[in-house]
Structure 1
Amino acid sequence: MKLVAVVACTSGIAHTYIAKEKLISASKKRGHTIKVETQGTIGIENELTREDIKNADIVIMATDIQTTGNDRFNGKKTMKVPTNVAVKAAGQLIEKIEDEFNKED
């Protein structure tokens, strides 16, 4: 699967970047590609392009705060979770996405 994600914690520092790395690692282990946009204290980094979003099978929103640009994902399958889920259980999150995505096919 091709995944994209937006991560943003309340302080916009540690958990944002930890969640990003955990999602990347878990996705690669399961054979998926992922691009992760962070929205932290220094702004948006690794911003998702229209092409990234268009090609994505699933959008993961691992956020604890209101993020910007969410209208970009209208019409896309989206999984919303708090950042601590991505930090503590990224592998299980990816498995759950696989299960739900495969049910719909």
Structure 2
Amino acid sequence: MSATRSPKSYGTAVCLCGIFGVMGVHHFYLGNILHGLVDFALFVVTIALFLHDNPLALLFLLADVLHTIIVFYKLITEQERDGQGRLVCLASTPV
């Protein structure tokens, strides 16, 4: 993977993860389409389980929230990469 800086906005990626993290919107923005689809599917399954009063819904919700927290941490510490393998970081951060 390349160690170059991503052209994607660090602030936009952090905001999308913070607000819509459990839906995986930030993955789509960063070009990690497969990761975004998996994250969105996890969200949809969680909602479906809640609608059917399935006790597994809490487990799926916990997994989705935990995953979002990990990705959010990686974003704010500038360790997350976009779909091309480039680091998502502040423009002032040297790579």
TM interval, shorter chain, is under 0.3
Q: Greater RCO between the two (CA within 8 Å, min separation 6)?
A: 2
Larger radius of gyration: 2
TM-score when scaled to structure 2? 0.28
Structure in which a larger fraction of residues adopt strand: 1
TM-score when scaled to structure 1? 0.25
